[in-house]
Structures are given as structure tokens and as C-alpha cells.
Amino acid sequence: MEISRGGQQLCAPPRRQVIDRLGAVMDVENIMELRKSDFYFELPQELIAQDPLEDRSASRLLLLDKNTGQIRHEVFRHITRYLRPGDCLVLNNTKVIPARLLGEREGTGAHVEVLLLKRREKDVWETLVKPGKKCRPGTELIFGNGLLRARVLETVEEGNRLIRFTYEGIWEELLDQLGEMPLPPYITHRLQDKNRYQTVYAKYEGSAAAPTAGLHFTGELLEQIGKMGVQIVYVTLHVGLGTFRPVKEENVLEHHMHSEYYQVTQEAAERINAVKAAGGRVICVGTTSCRTLESAADESGLVQPGCGDTEIFIYPGYHFKVLDGLITNFHLPESTLVMLVSALAGREQVLAAYEEAIRERYRFFSFGDAMFVV
């Protein structure tokens, strides 16, 4: 039997399993008929949360038993009732940079929007530019009445532009002054407080989007969880704009996952492995923490310290090597994030939980409510 992925023919091993491009074992039976439309659901527009709650931990929490499909309704701050001493809570401590710059083309005054994607050199960034057609190599851009200037160097993959910035002073301070938070396209309200699109434990700058499951935690709640005997461990994955990229192919296996940088320290790996060895549960806060651990783990389930780029794509049929539970938000229909959650709890149970959340008027997406799958 052969399985096609992106035009490439893959021969299935004798045990009727197929290995994805990062070595994760997948069940062939579960993925042979995996269609994008299998993950569609109707979402009323008014359930898309446009603004964050004043109290982070006041969000609602839907608990989903991944084995039985049983559902319970809670408030997020009461998540302590469902954590145990000896568990490990893994959080992504990336920090969102104010990566959206509004400026103009020199000489014409035409408005231009630049979104910083990835730093290539000290002052050279890979960017997404709108409108892109007018910003050819050599185009000069001005931001903040000349406080920041830029020159388009070349056009690279997917039409992105390499841009060199020139300025006086400290880059981070200038970016904080001129830049805006790159909110997801489905959020149309202007964010009043930049910090509400950061987790309270954000540390390492590099993300173009927040790991939003972590937005529900306050410092006080994390302190309370730590006092319970739950290990709190941090990893880093810099979230790229690809997280909002829709799946275009009806055959899910033909979707190419975006690349993101991650890092797991020696201390983090040792603590997570110790919890697993002692029989504790590893609970990831957000799909980014999950993808980090599953990328860093070897086939025996041991998390290895290190850093690099990951393109791991988790969908039903995937065998989790480390993760036992997941705290996450409610995601877009047909998104890779819904597919990841479905890999953990089953597509039918996840979609049933989403239907329940819609009936109960839960708030969806980045500033919305949360679910705990365990």
C-alpha cells in the first residue's frame, strides 16, 4: 500500500504505520481518509472574542476527558482542582514583539505596512510587506517621521521581503515606541494594553503571535499551582504568523507546516523526564508547548535538550511521546490546531465539545475561553 503526501509516494511499513517527516509514528488507518472538511464547524461570528477579560483567570474552562468524552464546565482559576502533586505544567515563555510597523514609501508618501517575521542579521529582517508589489528591491521606507528608515534588499520565499533598517539608538526601544502588536486577522478591535497580548511569564522576544493558552494564567495562580507540588517548567517556541495560515489542501497530508524555532534547556528536559519517570502527568499549556516537547523527544519518550527549527504537524493518528494533557483555547475551524487537539482526544469528541461550547456561548480564539483535555 502507498500513501501520497504532497505528491510523494510513501510505502507503508509492514506494521501499517507511516513515519511523518520528523519521525513521529502515525497509524495508517487513521490518516488514509483525513480531510480538511472533517474538522469544519459553524461558529457564530459574535463568539469570536475581540477583547481580553480584565481578569485573566476569570475565563471559562471546559474540561474534556480524552478517554470518555465527558465534559464539565468550570472557571479557569479553578484549574487547580484538576491538577495533582507530581504533575508537570509546561509553559512557553516566548515574548511577542510589537512587529507591525506602519510607515510610508519615501518620495511618494504611500502608506505601507511591514510585519517583522524573522531576524536574519542584526538589522536585517525577513518581513511581510503590504502592499508588496510597490516595494521592490531598492525601495526606501520611512517610519515615525524618520526615526526609523529601511531599504528593501530582495524578495525571498513566499513573496516576503528582506529589509535592512537604519536608526539611531536602541532597536528594542524604538520598536516598542513605533511598533504595534501583530494581532490575528480575526481581531478587529484595537488593543488598549500591549501587555494583554503577552503572558505574565513572557521572557524571550521573538514571536509574531502570542501562545494564547498562557494568557489565562496570573502570577498568583501560578504561585498557587507551584505550592500544590506541581512542577512548573518553561520551554521556548517563537510563534510565527504561519500559525494563522489556513489549510488549503483538502487532503490534510498535503499541507506543509510552517517552521518555528524552539529551545529546551538541559534543566527543563531533566525535570520533565523526572516527572514522567515518577509516574506524573506532563500537561502542556498551549499547542506550542506541545509541539516543542514532541519535537524534542526521542522515540522512547525522553525529552532531549537542544534547539532548532520544527515543522512538526500533529493530527489524528499521531502517538504522543511525552504529553498527557493539554490546556488550550478554542481554535478556528479546519485549522492545524483543531487537528492537534483531535489527535489527543479524538475528532468526534473534540467537535462534540466545540458544539457544547458554542451552545454554552463560550468565547473563541486568542482572547477567548479555554479547555483542558486530560
Over the chain (374 residues), the average pLDDT of each successive run of 10 is 28 32 47 85 97 96 98 98 98 95 95 92 93 92 97 92 96 94 88 92 94 98 98 96 84 91 98 98 98 97 97 96 98 96 98 98 97 98
pLDDT of residue 194: 86
Distance (Å, rounded) from C-alpha 370 to C-alpha 52?
13
Is 2-96+195-373 a domain of CATH 3.90.550.10?
no
Q: Who contacts 188 (Cβ-Cβ below 8 Å, separation ≥6)? A: 50
DSSP labels for 110-130?
-EEEEEEEEE-SSSEEEEEEE
Q: Who contacts 125 (Cβ-Cβ below 8 Å, separation ≥6)? A: 116, 117, 118, 119, 162, 163, 165
- pTM of the predicted model as reported, rounded to 2 decimal places: 0.87
Same fold for the domain at 2-96+195-373 and the one at 100-178?
Answer: no
pLDDT of residue 33: 72
pLDDT of residue 31: 54
- Helices 336-345, 287-296: inter-axial angle, 10-degree rounding: 70
Residues 100-178: name the CATH superfamily.
Answer: QueA-like (2.40.10.240)
pLDDT of residue 68: 97
Q: What residues does each domain of the chain span? A: 2-96+195-373, 100-178
Residue pair 115/99 in contact (Cβ under 8 Å)? The answer is yes
**C-alpha neighbours within 13 Å on the C-beta side of residue 234:** 14
